Amino acid sequence: MKGYCLFFLSVFLTVSSAVAQQSWAWGPFVRPVGVNPIVRPDTNSVFYCPMRQHSVAWEGSDTFNPAATVMNEKVVLLYRAEDNSAVGIGSRTSRIGYASSADGLHFVRHGAPVLFPSKEDNQAENECPGGCEDPRVVMTDDGLYVMMYTQWNRKQARLAVATSRDLVTWEKHGPAFAKAYGGRFKDDFSKSASIVTEVKDGCQVVARVNGKYWMYWGESFVNVATSDNLVDWTPLLDDQGDLLKVMLPRKGHFDSQLTECGPPAILTDKGILLIYNGKNLATEDGDKRYTPNSYCAGQALFSASNPTQLIDRLDKPFFLPEEDFERSGQYPAGTVFVEGMAFHGGKWLLYYGCADSRVSVAIYQPQ
């Protein structure tokens, strides 16, 4: 037990020092004692599925990868939930659930999914039978909520857009890149979008940079896209006409395999802060300090005047799997998949998926 405690003390000091070395980085993010996980699977939660046309235990298997926002002074989580229709990652059906909290720690669930696949809507081809996955949510100045999520038909993952005024009733707009370059990227693999936001009068809202909305997106590397309306997005291209890669995985680091965008990016006085998820290679090119195939969280800083320009990046993760429920479940290699963050009560609440099976929270209290 003594060795176990010393190990995690060493990890905590390493993470804290990694953040402290960079004045632009945020942290530490601290897990509240006795609270996590805050959302767990519920086999008694039943929903009539318009895709299958019978009732299913829609969140009976796993609940993870949440979006977060604030409405009416409450934190709202929009979390991914999987039923038990099949065995194995990517083989079940995902739906987006709703839970709210006055303190950001203790949540009450809505009882039914708010976004889900249906044979009765115009996105059935893109979402059946795999469903709706991994949401990120932002709010505009006038109270419109925009959700970026992954459509999964078990053949192709597509980044898609939905909008809502109440976080319960959503209008699906389809693939985010459907209109760009004559539909060139409509059917390409795409996911994980972090729209740039800022804090105004105590509220986190969508920001414009150089007159446009900006979004970091991608999994195997970080891309950038812009929009005039938050629905239709245009990926930026390099001089060869390929997707612009503004951040890549690094050999020998915790993000040696993937750099997958996390919660909405934030415009700060230092630049644009992007919190992302790094996956560690299991080969010699991975980081030996961290478990092979594990997901840890990193931070990167981009220019506020030129969002494609990477200024700096943490060499070590600021958040990594520690708890038993972060190193078990669907993904036993260890996963803290950061995806939602809300500014509430003067604190930043970071919500993350634990091993693709639970939802937890960590808190950053700015000075």
Q: Name the more confident of 15 and 253.
A: 253
Alpha-helical runs (H) found in the chain: 2-20, 124-127
- Structural contact between residues 364 and 26, judged by C-beta atoms closer than 8 angstroms: yes
- Structural contact between residues 63 and 40, judged by C-beta atoms closer than 8 angstroms: yes
User: Between β-strands 203-206 and 197-200, what pairing exists: parallel, antiparallel or unpaired?
Assistant: antiparallel
Q: What is the CATH number of the domain that holds 300?
A: 2.115.10.20
Q: Flag whether the pTM goes above 0.85.
A: yes
Amino acid identity of 270? K
Residue in this structure with the two tokens 């795999």, named with its chain if needed: 130
Using CA atoms, how far residue 177 sits from 100, 234, 308, in Å, is 31, 6, 18
Residue 151, pLDDT score: 98
Domain of residue 36: give its range: 2-364
Tens of pLDDT along 209-242? 999 999 999 999 999 999 999 999 999 999 999 9
pLDDT category at 21 given cuts 50, 70, 90 is: low
Across the range 325-333, mean pLDDT stands at 86
Residue 329, pLDDT score: 79
Total number of domains constituting the chain: 1
Tens of pLDDT along 299-323? 999 999 999 999 999 999 999 999 9
Tens of pLDDT along 65-75? 999 999 999 99
Residue 10, pLDDT score: 42
- Structural contact between residues 216 and 275, judged by C-beta atoms closer than 8 angstroms: no
Q: How far apart, in whole angstroms, are the C-alpha atoms of residue 333 and residue 91?
A: 19
Tens of pLDDT along 185-204? 999 999 999 999 999 999 99
